[in-house]
């Protein structure tokens, strides 16, 4: 295998998935920049409430596609209201805080947005049905999403002009869209699966547009049914997955992605305060990254490539963790990355 592929991060990097505990963007940003100097990310703080969550945050980016909070979740609205103003306010403050603390930063910065299929699976139409069930409504959403994401990247670059951008498209609901396991509005049925060719084509438009701005398109899905081949073919140049859920059935797909030069962000640290056994592992970086080393050995790639191609992360966002655990999880991710560099073989 050629090892001439380049990756948008330094050797033996680590990062976070996105969300962070608490409600203070100043503290969160300072912590992330301090703990993740090689590949920091814009932290998300869903504990602040509606509008700071993944769907509301990305909903604030959608031009002329207003949504609002209802008891059942986010729903398409007749016009923008206080929910969107609140979401836009959260995001604006986060960007201003980032500009303050990342002044002069010249490395790679990761930003996260909810993906179009997860938005379509999460948003309700006015009749209460999921938006993804209506092809016309989904097309309108995808167009607004694309425009909004590109405008968001412009705003991030204004705040941190020296940074290169890695754009993580979060698609936790993508497997459910593909498998036809999303419940209907009544809860008694399931929506039909969306054709994989259509899903792939729609994602390719988004990833291509992101790449055309000079940013690196990435895809995150922490489900066991993550469609690795589909995301790679769609143009994602980085795949973020939960390494603890990978099995031998994923080996061929992961191997093909690595051969193609796709970088991997592999979740190795539990994202919430865990069992006593998990807590014990928190003191052992080598044991934490054993699943990654075992995978690499099975694939047969050069050990020298491991710490360049792979970034260590928590398994998912850290919003549900205590602040103390969240910081420890980033420290362990960073220590694990050094193990992959210094001891790539188990």
User: What proportion of the chain, given as a percentage, has pLDDT over 90?
Assistant: 91
Looking at residue 185, its pLDDT comes to 85
Give, in order, the Cα–Cα distances in Å from 10 to each of 15, 143, 193, 263, 331: 12, 34, 39, 12, 17
Q: Where are the beta strands (DSSP E) in the chain?
A: 67-70, 73-76, 108-114, 164-170, 216-220, 238-242, 263-269, 310-314
Q: Does residue 252 register a pLDDT over 50? A: yes
pLDDT over 70 at 145, yes or no = yes
Q: What is the mean pLDDT of residues 283-308?
A: 94
| pLDDT reading at 101 higher than 70 | yes
Q: For the packed helices 290-299 and 323-342, what is the interaxial angle rounded to 10 degrees? A: 40
Say whether 183 sits in a helix, a strand or coil: strand
Give the closest residue to 159 by CA, choosing from 92, 95, 104, 247.
95
Has residue 1 got a pLDDT over 80?
A: no
Rounded to whole angstroms, how far apart are CA atoms 7 and 300? 20
Say whether pLDDT at 2 is over 60. Answer: no
Domains of the chain with CATH codes: 25-342 (3.20.20.210)
> What confidence tier does 3 reach under pLDDT thresholds 50, 70, 90?
low
**pLDDT > 60? residue 276:** no
**For the segment 51-74, what is each residue's pLDDT rounded down to a tens digit?**
999 999 999 999 999 999 999 899
What six digits make up the tokens of 152? 């968001």
> Percentage of the chain surpassing pLDDT 70?
96
Check: CB of residue 159 under 8 Å from CB of residue 165.
no
Q: What is the mean pLDDT of residues 90-105?
A: 97
């Amino acid at each position: 295998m050629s090892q001439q592929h380049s990756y948008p991060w330094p050797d033996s990097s680590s990062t976070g998935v996105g969300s962070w505990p608490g409600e203070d963007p100043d503290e969160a940003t300072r912590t992330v920049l301090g703990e993740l100097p090689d590949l920091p990310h814009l932290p998300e703080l869903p504990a602040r409430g509606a509008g700071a969550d993944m769907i509301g945050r990305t909903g604030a980016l959608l031009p002329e596609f207003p949504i609002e909070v209802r008891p059942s979740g986010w729903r398409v609205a007749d016009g923008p209201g206080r929910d969107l103003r609140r979401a836009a306010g959260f995001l604006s403050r986060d960007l201003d805080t980032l500009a303050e603390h990342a002044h002069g930063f010249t490395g790679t910065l990761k930003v996260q947005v909810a993906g179009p299929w997860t938005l379509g699976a999460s948003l309700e139409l006015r009749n209460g049905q999921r938006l993804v069930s209506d092809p016309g409504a989904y097309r309108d959403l995808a167009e607004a999403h694309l425009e909004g994401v590109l405008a968001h990247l412009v705003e991030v670059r204004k705040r941190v002009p020296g940074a290169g951008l890695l754009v993580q498209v979060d698609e936790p609901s993508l497997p459910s869209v593909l498998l036809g396991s999303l419940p209907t509005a009544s809860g008694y049925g399931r929506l039909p699966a969306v054709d994989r060719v259509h899903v792939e084509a729609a994602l390719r438009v988004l990833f291509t547009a992101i790449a055309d701005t000079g940013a690196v398109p990435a895809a995150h899905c922490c489900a066991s049914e993550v469609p690795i081949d589909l995301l790679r073919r769609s143009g994602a140049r980085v795949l973020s997955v939960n390494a603890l859920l990978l099995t031998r059935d994923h080996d061929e797909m992961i191997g093909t992605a690595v051969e193609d030069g796709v970088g991997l962000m592999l979740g190795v640290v539990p994202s919430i305060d865990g069992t006593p056994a998990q807590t014990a592992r928190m003191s052992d970086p080598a044991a934490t990254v054993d699943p990654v080393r075992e995978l690499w050995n099975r694939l047969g790639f050069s050990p020298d490539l491991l710490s360049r191609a792979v970034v260590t992360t928590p398994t998912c966002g850290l919003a549900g963790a205590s602040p103390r655990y969240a910081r420890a999880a980033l420290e362990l991710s960073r220590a694990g990355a050094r193990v992959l560099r210094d001891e790539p073989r188990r």
